[in-house]
Each structure stands twice: as structure tokens, then as C-alpha cells.
Amino acid sequence: MLTNTSTQRKTYYEELREKGYSRRDFMKFCTMIAAYMGLQSSGAAQVAEALKTKPRVPVIWLHFQECTCCSESFIRSSHPIVADIILDKLSLDYTETLMAAAGHQAEEAMEKTMKEYYGEYVLCVEGSVPAGADGVYCMIGGKSSLDILHEAAEGAKAVICWGSCASNGCVQAAKPNPTKATPIHKIIKGKPIIKVPGCPPIGEVMAGTLVHIITFDTLPALDGTGRPKAFYSKRVHDSCYRRPYYDAGMFVETFDDENAKRGYCLYKVGCKGPSTYNACGIMKWNNGTSYPIQSGHGCFGCSEESFWDNGPIYERMVNAGGFGIEENADKVGLVALGVTAAGIAAHAVATNLRKHKLVEDLIAEGKQSEQELKKD
């Protein structure tokens, strides 16, 4: 797995031909991935050109606090070339999950890549880094993940944060975050960082992000939080096939009602689609088979920051931090309204007592003037 990384760097196309892919397969892949990346039709040719002429980009793929679902998602992207082109032999110089080497051999391979391709390799990070207790919660080969990350990031051309763990900490960073799980952008400064959040992110989104870097030698256009705009500029809600039910005000009230059977909008049973930016509604999952909403379950909001702390999954609720689990904004608001009304009532009573003379004088004055007026 690690032998042909250093000698002469073949192009992606050469490697694929050696693996037995036809040119037709190759062109199909280029067209598909260009479409996913949101390129115009000539983009497919650009992708093909780049993969044919450019030597492969060395990649180091680190795994920290995570469940490997990002890797799993990646190797299941719809076109087999995706996995082959990036993962299988070609590019991956180091990844705990899939490399053949182990122990010192593996660590050596990483060091070799870091030295040989200093400033050229792309560092992909899956998982967050526990900053608590000097990083002892995640140690690999006797080194803390924090040290490994700093070491690996130094010579990286760019850092890609795979998944919500690396992008925003995900479940291990949920309150109270006992290991102080920290997303990559809070540790690494001064390097271009791309966040590809999701739990996991869609395989095609991951592939599209890498292919963009390979094709254009630049980072894809990023949004305000550092996510590629091509995949994260629309809400799940805005590309949802159930959206017409939302606009028509036809909602699932409970998961076992008639409306759920009819496939109405899941807004009221806690769907986070309206506040989640991702491409699920368009690309879908498992070769475009389905996605959560299509299978009758609301969106989790898994690509949004701190989605584990964003209130209950099955309720459309504005949670009330510090007011207890069962409270929401409206309950607290109603109590405040009651208190205000009681305060006003008390104030009104007090006014009639304390300002009695003032009011009496006004009334007396008014009545006196009334008396002085001529009768009709």
C-alpha cells in the first residue's frame, strides 16, 4: 500500500487504467463528480484533464476522537472510482483504518510523507482533539492527538476537517464535554481549513471537495463557517421534496398518525431541516437511494454546530437553557407574562392608594367645571 507513493508519482488516470478502469468509466466519473460539484458542463473536461495530467496529491488522513463513519461514508460513495481514486493505494499515505501497515512501519510512512511532500500534502482529519488532561484521552503510538495534529499540520498545504467531530466537536463535545473535545479550526491557525460537517458527511460531498482541490489547485469557495459553498449553501428544508406540504401547512402531528403515512412535512415532529445546511435533499445517500426525511424521520441537523445540544430531536422546541429540561421559551414567557400582569395589578392598586389625592383633585376639578357649565 505504501510502496508506490514515493518513487514516481503517477497521475490518477494512469493509476486507474492500471487498475482496469476503461476510459469510458473514467469519463463517467468525471462527469458525475463535476455535476455534484456544481460546475458547468465544461467542468467535466477540466476535471478529466486535471486527473489525467496532474500527479496525485499526497494525503495524510488522521483519525482522532471519532467513530470512522466519515471513512465508511466515503468508501460508499456512489461511484467506485471515488473510493479507488482517493483511498485504494493511490493517495492515502497514512490512515489508521485502511492502511496495511501497522505499528512503527505505519508511523514511519507518515513521517516519510510529511518530509518528502512537505508543503504539498493535504491533511484530512477525522475526529476532534481532546484538549483536556494534556490530551491523554486520545493517544496514538504514544503521542497525544494534539501533538500529532500540530506535527502533521505544519507541512500541510491545506487541512480538511471531515465530519462534525473535526468541524465542530460533535457528540463528544456536547455538554459537559468531559474530554474538552476541540474542533480542528480552534487548534490549527494559519492554514487553509475546509470544514465538511455532517455525521457523517455525504460521500460524494467528500469526494467533490477533494476533486476540487486536485482539479483547480485551490480551495473550493467557502461559506462564513468554512464549508464548501457548493454543498452547504442551501438548507435541507429548501431542497426537501416534502416542502410543498410545509407551505400548505400540512404537518405530521405524531409519527403514528395518518399524516405521517401520507408523507406530510415533519416540521412539527422536530425536523431540523429548516436550520440545517447540507445537500442531503439533492444528493441523498447510498447511491442516491434515500435520506432521513424520505424514510420518514426528521432531519437531525447533524451538519450544524453543536446539534446535540440544540434541544430535543423530536420536538420543534426553543429550549430554555438554565430553566430545566421540560421548559421552553413559551412556557417561561407565559410565566413572565403572568408575573407582569400581577405586578401591574399591584401597581394599579397602589396607585389608587398612594396617588389618591392627586386623582381625587383631578376628578374634583373636572366635576367642578362640569357644574359651572350652563344646562341646556
Partner 1 sequence: MNSTTVSQKPHLLRRVFVWELPVRYYHWINAGCILVLIATGFIIGDPPAIMTSREAYSSYWFGTTRFIHFVAAYIFLFNFLFRIYWGFVGNKFASWRNFIPTNRQYFLDMWNILKSDIFMTKGYNVHTIGHNRLAGFIYFLTFIAFGIQCLTGFGLYSAMSDWWLPNLFSWVPAFFGGDFMLRTIHHWAMWFFILFTVVHVYLVFYHDYVEGHGEISSMGGGWKFIDEETFEKNKEKKK
Distance CA 33, CA 48 (A): 10
Question: Least distance to partner 1 from the beta carbon of 340, Å?
Answer: 5
| Binding segment (CB under 8 A) for partner 1, from list 49-57, 67-75, 207-215, 244-252 | 244-252
| CB closer to partner 1 out of 23 and 355 | 355
Distance CA 225, CA 370 (A): 71
Q: By C-alpha distance, which of 92, 71, 75, 93 is closest to 83? A: 75
| CB closer to partner 1 out of 20 and 224 | 224
Residue 261 dihedral angles phi and psi, to the nearest 5°: -65, -35
Q: Are strands 122-126 and 193-196 parallel, antiparallel or unpaired?
A: unpaired
Please identify which residue in 100, 133, 136, 248 interacts with partner 1, judged by CB under 8 A: 248
User: Is the Cα dihedral 14, 17, 18, 19 positive or negative?
Assistant: positive
Question: Least distance to partner 1 from the beta carbon of 353, Å?
Answer: 8
Distance CA 247, CA 116 (A): 56
Number of H helices, E strands in the chain: 15, 9
Burial class (CB in 10 A: 0-12, 13-18, 19+), 176: exposed
Of residues 180-239, which lie at the interface with partner 1 (CB under 8 A)? 223-225, 233-235, 238
| CB closer to partner 1 out of 100 and 358 | 358
Question: Least distance to partner 1 from the beta carbon of 344, Å?
Answer: 5
Question: Least distance to partner 1 from the beta carbon of 213, Å?
Answer: 22
**Does residue 34 contact residue 43 with C-beta atoms inside 8 Å?**
yes
Question: Least distance to partner 1 from the beta carbon of 242, Å?
Answer: 9
Question: Angle, to 10 degrees, between the axis of helix 356-372 and the axis of helix 329-354?
Answer: 60
How many CA atoms lie less than 13 Å away from 56 in the CB half-sphere? 26
Please identify which residue in 276, 278, 283, 292 interacts with partner 1, judged by CB under 8 A: 276
Q: Determine, following the binding rule CB under 8 A, whether residue 294 of this chain makes contact with partner 1.
A: no
Q: What angle do CA 39, 235, 168 make, to 5 degrees?
A: 95
Question: Least distance to partner 1 from the beta carbon of 161, Å?
Answer: 15
Binding mask 298-327 for partner 1 (x = CB under 8 A): ---x--xxxx--xx----x-xx--------
| All cell numbers assigned to 305 | 454546530
Q: By C-alpha distance, which of 145, 226, 129 is closest to 181? A: 129
Question: Least distance to partner 1 from the beta carbon of 358, Å?
Answer: 6
Question: Least distance to partner 1 from the beta carbon of 175, Å?
Answer: 14
Please identify which residue in 369, 370, 371, 373 interacts with partner 1, judged by CB under 8 A: 369
How many CA atoms lie less than 13 Å away from 352 in the CB half-sphere? 5
Distance CA 75, CA 73 (A): 6
| CB closer to partner 1 out of 76 and 229 | 229
Which residue's entry shows cell 481514486? 85
Q: How many residues bind partner 1 (CB under 8 A)?
A: 58
Of residues 47-106, which lie at the interface with partner 1 (CB under 8 A)? none
Question: Least distance to partner 1 from the beta carbon of 29, Å?
Answer: 31
| CB closer to partner 1 out of 111 and 238 | 238
| CB closer to partner 1 out of 20 and 321 | 321
Which residue's entry shows cell 463557517? 225
Dihedral, 302, 235, 249, 306 alpha carbons, nearest 10 = 30
Binding mask 249-268 for partner 1 (x = CB under 8 A): xxx-x-----x-------xx
Distance CA 134, CA 180 (A): 10
Of residues 325-364, which lie at the interface with partner 1 (CB under 8 A)? 329-330, 332-333, 336-337, 340-341, 344, 347-348, 350-351, 354-355, 357-359, 361-362
What does the binding site for partner 1 look like in residue numbers (CB under 8 A)?
Answer: 223-225, 233-235, 238, 244-251, 253, 259, 267-268, 272, 274-277, 301, 304-307, 310-311, 316, 318-319, 329-330, 332-333, 336-337, 340-341, 344, 347-348, 350-351, 354-355, 357-359, 361-362, 365-366, 368-369
